[in-house]
């Protein structure tokens, strides 16, 4: 690993990643009879295919369905990231596959380990864009936080990812691959997770602006013959893309929903989260109500509220927030997230006392409120800190 300031602890954790080469060729050339390149055909990212799609893809290569099942297991169950490792497949088939498809496209550039055990992976897409994923170990279960976009278009003023702007939305394969990378690193290639794994779509980007990719990725991730992480284990967070909240309300197999509020009034939310100018609070909470009505047993729906010192954390803000949610008859759990430092942004986390006072006002007005413990702050892995930072804070590692 080459980058200056790279966390030395990671050298010790270095496993199979070190052997992975930079992926530069994602396309195969199509040649005319005299050997000239006439077109470039992108290779199919196999992780973007559902089981049945893989059967057709492999069928088109003249191979029987059982080969597709073998490949699916190799990709999603054994979590292999190269055809060379799939030694149960005939060599010729591996060569054939390699000419038209790829089992992995993300290149792991660096990994950072937090003092609290959180790991952050900084990867590059085949076209050179940053993708970040975070693995958060917990006592009874582990959580993988994946990104849905490279960068983000939403410009929330308290979030570092916003500074990247939108580079592009990620493909279903790139979302699935993040989970595979994190699982392999945390447990070993193909090893069964020691705990249950939860997923949260709270990394870089706005998942509901990558809705199709997201939903397809989640269906692939849920496959019992593969990763088998079902939607009930997944929570997706949105800044408030109203049409997609309404759409999700009609979907039966769906992840849990979290909606980021960040401010109790349109006036303030317009500034902190400019998406509010497109879908103001009344519209957003109307869609939330519709979603709440569609909830089935066991489904969770939460609000998130980032707490910015002296900006949105006063008792008055708490009362406004509680009244707003009560007006819309939304007795939904509120997660309070103390702001994670995101220099050069001009915000600071609210003090403990302030957070507690805010929380008790919400509770007194009938809203269950919880304070989220930040994880991985020292390696820029916490909420709102993902901005493709290459340095870690060595003092805390
Ligand atoms: N775009 C989606 C998902 C990514 S952000 C969304 O906005 O919900 C995930 C959560 O982190 C959101 O609730 C967001 O408000 C919060 N967040 C963003 N920047 C933060 C920061 N610097 N500190 C704490 N939370 C932050």
Nearest CA to ligand 1 atom 25: 383
Nearest CA to ligand 1 atom 24: 339
Beta bridge partners of 237: 258
Q: What is the DSSP string of 220-255?
A: HHH-TTTT---GGGEEEEES--HHHHHHHTT-SS--
Is pLDDT of 83 > 90?
A: yes
d(CA 167, CA 295): 34
pLDDT band at 13 (very low <50, low <70, confident <90, very high): very low
Ligand 1, pocket residues at CB < 6 Å: 158-159, 202, 206, 237-239, 260, 262, 304, 306, 337, 339-340, 342, 383-384
Q: If you measure from the C-alpha of residue 63 to the centroid of ligand 1, how many angstroms do you get, rounded to a whole number?
A: 45
Closest-CA residue to 332 (of 291, 372, 271): 291
Q: Give the strand order in the sheet containing 301-307.
A: 107-113, 119-124, 130-137, 141-145, 196-201, 234-238, 256-260, 301-307, 333-338, 369-371
**What contacts 87, CB < 8 A, 6 or more positions away?**
none
**What contacts 53, CB < 8 A, 6 or more positions away?**
none
Average pLDDT, the chain: 89
Closest-CA residue to 134 (of 78, 202, 88): 202
Mutate to test the pocket of ligand 1, among 306, 332, 348, 387 (most ligand atoms within 8 A of CB): 306
Residue 390 has a pLDDT of: 74
pLDDT band at 22 (very low <50, low <70, confident <90, very high): very low
pLDDT band at 385 (very low <50, low <70, confident <90, very high): confident
Is pLDDT of 335 > 80?
A: yes
Mutate to test the pocket of ligand 1, among 237, 309, 375 (most ligand atoms within 8 A of CB): 237
Residue 31 has a pLDDT of: 65
d(CA 307, CA 318): 11
The dihedral through the CA atoms of 73, 170, 286, 265 has a sign that is positive
Question: Ligand 1 atom closest to Cα of 161?
Answer: 19
Average pLDDT over residues 319-343: 94
Residue 29 has a pLDDT of: 61
d(CA 305, CA 273): 12
* Largest CA-CA distance found in the chain, in angstroms, rounded: 79
HEC letters along 162-225: HHHCEEEECCHHHHHHHHHHHHHHHHCCCCCCCCEEEEEECCCCCHHHCHHHHHHHHHHHHCCC
Residue 391 has a pLDDT of: 65
As annotated, the active-site residues are 132, 383
Nearest CA to ligand 1 atom 13: 260
Is pLDDT of 60 > 60?
A: yes
State pLDDT tens for residues 96-147. Answer: 999 999 999 999 999 999 999 999 999 999 999 999 999 999 988 999 999 9
Residue of 291 and 41 predicted with greater confidence: 291
- The phi and psi torsions of 12 (rounded to 5 degrees) equal -70, -35
Is pLDDT of 327 > 50?
A: yes
Tokens 């059982």 correspond to what residue? Answer: 66
Q: Per the structure block, which two tokens stand in for 150?
A: 């490279």
pLDDT band at 30 (very low <50, low <70, confident <90, very high): low
CA atoms lying within 13 Å on the CB side of residue 6: 15
38-42, 156-160, 260-264, 267-271: which range is least confident on average? Answer: 38-42
Question: Is the backbone of residue 379 left (phi > 0), alpha (psi -120 to 50) or beta?
Answer: alpha
13-17, 121-125, 189-193: which range is least confident on average? Answer: 13-17
d(CA 117, CA 114): 5
User: Which three-class secondary structure state does DSSP give residue 55?
Assistant: helix
Nearest CA to ligand 1 atom 22: 384
What are the DSSP E strand ranges found in the chain? 27-31, 37-42, 44-45, 101-102, 107-113, 119-124, 130-137, 141-145, 149-151, 166-169, 196-201, 234-238, 256-260, 301-307, 333-338, 369-371
Are the C-beta atoms of residues 226 and 247 closer than 8 Å to each other?
Answer: no
Residue of 291 and 16 predicted with greater confidence: 291
């Amino acid at each position: 690993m080459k980058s200056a300031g790279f966390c030395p602890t990671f050298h010790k954790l270095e496993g199979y990643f070190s052997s992975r080469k930079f992926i530069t060729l994602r396309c195969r050339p199509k040649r005319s009879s005299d050997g000239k390149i006439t077109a470039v055909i992108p290779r199919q990212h196999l992780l973007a295919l559902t089981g049945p799609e893989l059967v057709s893809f492999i069928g088109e290569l003249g191979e029987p369905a059982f080969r597709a099942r073998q490949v699916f297991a190799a990709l999603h169950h054994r979590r292999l990231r190269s055809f060379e490792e799939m030694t149960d497949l005939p060599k010729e088939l591996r060569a054939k596959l390699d000419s038209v498809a790829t089992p992995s496209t993300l290149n792991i550039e660096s990994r950072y380990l937090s003092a609290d055990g959180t790991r952050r992976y900084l990867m590059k897409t085949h076209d050179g864009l940053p993708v970040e994923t975070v693995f958060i170990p917990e006592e009874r279960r582990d959580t993988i936080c994946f990104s849905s976009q490279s960068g983000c278009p939403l410009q929330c003023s308290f979030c570092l990812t916003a500074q990247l702007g939108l580079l592009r939305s990620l493909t279903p394969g790139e979302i699935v691959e993040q989970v595979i990378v994190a699982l392999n690193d945390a447990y070993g290639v193909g090893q069964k997770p020691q705990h249950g794994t939860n997923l949260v779509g709270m990394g870089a980007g706005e998942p509901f602006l990558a809705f199709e990719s997201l939903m397809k990725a989640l269906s692939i991730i849920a496959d019992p013959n593969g990763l088998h992480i079902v939607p009930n284990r997944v929570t997706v967070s949105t800044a408030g893309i109203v049409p997609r909240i309404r759409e999700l309300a009609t979907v039966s197999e769906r992840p849990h929903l979290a909606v980021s509020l960040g401010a109790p009034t349109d006036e303030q939310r317009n500034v902190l989260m400019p998406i509010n100018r497109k879908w103001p609070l009344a519209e957003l909470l109307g869609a939330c109500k519709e979603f709440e009505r569609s909830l089935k047993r066991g489904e969770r729906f939460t609000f998130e509220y980032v707490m910015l010192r002296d900006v949105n954390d006063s008792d008055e803000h708490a009362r406004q927030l509680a009244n707003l949610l009560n007006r819309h008859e939304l007795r939904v759990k509120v997660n309070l997230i103390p702001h994670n430092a995101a220099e050069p942004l001009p915000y600071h986390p609210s003090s403990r006392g302030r957070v507690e006072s805010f929380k008790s006002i919400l509770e007194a007005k009938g809203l269950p409120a919880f304070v989220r413990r930040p994880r991985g702050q020292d390696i820029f892995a916490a909420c709102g800190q993902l901005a493709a930072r290459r340095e870690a804070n060595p003092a805390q590692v």
